[in-house]
Amino acid sequence: MNTTFSDCTFTEESGDEITNISYLEKQIEQQRYQTSVELLLPVQNESDAITTKIVDMVDSLSYYEFTGSPDILLFPDLYNNLLHSGKAFLISQAPYGSDDQISTVNGKLHVTLSKDSFLQTGLDAHPASSKTTNSLWHASYDLKTTFLQSHRKGFERLKSALGRFNNQWTFYMGIPPEHIDESFMKSLKKSFPVPLIQHHLRVEKSVYSSVIIPPLISSLKNIGSTDDSIEKSVDTLEQMSLLLLNADVIHKDYSSDPYICSYKPNSNSTSDILAISIVGLFDSSVSMRVYNLLRDLDWGFCVFRNEHLSSIPESLAAPGKANRTLLCLNQKSQNIRWTWKIT
């Protein structure tokens, strides 16, 4: 079941759809990277063990930050060992007030700039879209080609073009767990021409006591009206979002002012909720490992975001609109999952 309204797509999966043709897993992979994952989980016997596994995994992961002219991306050790081979992915934080973006993913360099910026650098580019109001141009380079190997003419031309930027850029680089080489990164830190700052992922956990939780979800596939399905899914998303915020209105003893808040919970059932958040820059495979740890819990609510460090470059997004936020609610007893994709 798939329904689109405004900038949100709602999808219901049940039975074999969850394990055999998983819509959610495909969407997580298409995000390419995440900058935060937030979890709401029931407090039950398995929760402590799952939390420990998540913390242990996150503690071993980190990402890197550096600032310089864009031609620093072609620094030999960085380029030859990580970017050229596609072992690392990288996103830029453009100078203030600029829509310019530079990113690398799967061994491809993507550059999105204003037309004037491209004229300044001499990079070959084309309009990013056919809209008459569009002022951005785009260029893409496959770094794995022989033409762009170190010391080839194509490499030298690209380095010269990237060196023509007048301002400094901040870059964030993530490395999937399977490609992490601690000894190499220590060596790179020493040889790199600017400070290479290592940031460890942050994991925070807390327990929300005696909060009002929504009733069990049930399939919407048999509801005749699309409007009714949308209303039910939106109501549930609103309640879970308020839980995520630990808002006052989801606490048992809170009495809201109808002139300020019209929200009314559709349940009086209360429970303790475990909230976990992971923040940083990490590969989508990390998010999948976290999600797979939750499958045996009675229920779980997960939020996958990729907009914390900077706006997601279109080059790292799925085809079409970027999947900026994915939210999913699992329920084990019904073998059902609801997913909201917000673009």
Check if the beta carbon of residue 110 is closer than 8 Å to that of residue 140: yes
Check if the beta carbon of residue 43 is closer than 8 Å to that of residue 207: yes
Tell me the pLDDT tens digit for each residue of 205-248.
999 888 887 777 777 777 666 677 777 888 888 888 888 888 87
pLDDT at 65 over 90: yes
Same domain, 131 and 54: no
Which of these ranges, 50-64, 70-84, 303-317, has the smallest mean pLDDT? 303-317
Mean of the per-residue pLDDT values of the chain: 81
Domain range for 159 is 62-200
Tell me the pLDDT tens digit for each residue of 238-295.
888 888 888 877 776 666 666 655 566 666 778 889 999 999 888 888 999 999 998 8
pLDDT at 197 over 60: yes
pLDDT the model gives residue 244: 87
pLDDT at 12 over 60: yes
3-class secondary structure, 26: helix
CA distance 61 to 67: 21
Same domain, 88 and 182: yes
From 200, 233, 257, the end of a domain falls on: 200
Same domain, 81 and 182: yes
pLDDT the model gives residue 73: 92
Same domain, 42 and 100: no
How far CA 254 is from CA of 82, 237, 247, 261, in Å, comes to 53, 20, 10, 12
Whole-prediction pTM value? 0.81
Same domain, 337 and 207: yes
Strand 62-68 and strand 336-342: pairing?
Answer: unpaired
Return the percent helix, strand and coil in the chain, to nearest 5: 30, 30, 35
| Residue % of the chain over a pLDDT of 70 | 83
Same domain, 220 and 275: yes
Render the burial of 214-242: b for 16+ CB within 10 Å, e for the rest.
beebeebeeeeeeeebbebbeebbebbeb
Same domain, 227 and 323: yes
Mean pLDDT of 313-333: 63
| Residue % of the chain over a pLDDT of 90 | 21
From 200, 232, 256, the end of a domain falls on: 200
pLDDT the model gives residue 316: 42
pLDDT at 43 over 80: yes
Same domain, 287 and 333: yes
Same domain, 132 and 91: yes
Which of these ranges, 142-151, 255-264, 305-314, has the smallest mean pLDDT? 305-314
Same domain, 194 and 235: no
Q: Identify the band that residue 38 occupies on the pLDDT scale cut at 50, 70 and 90.
A: very high
Tell me the pLDDT tens digit for each residue of 162-185.
888 777 889 999 998 888 888 999
Structural domains in the chain (count): 2
pLDDT the model gives residue 171: 92
pLDDT the model gives residue 145: 83
Same domain, 102 and 144: yes
Q: For residue 59, what are its two tokens?
A: 């503690």
Mean pLDDT of 107-129: 76
Same domain, 176 and 68: yes
pLDDT at 186 over 80: yes
From 145, 166, 200, the end of a domain falls on: 200
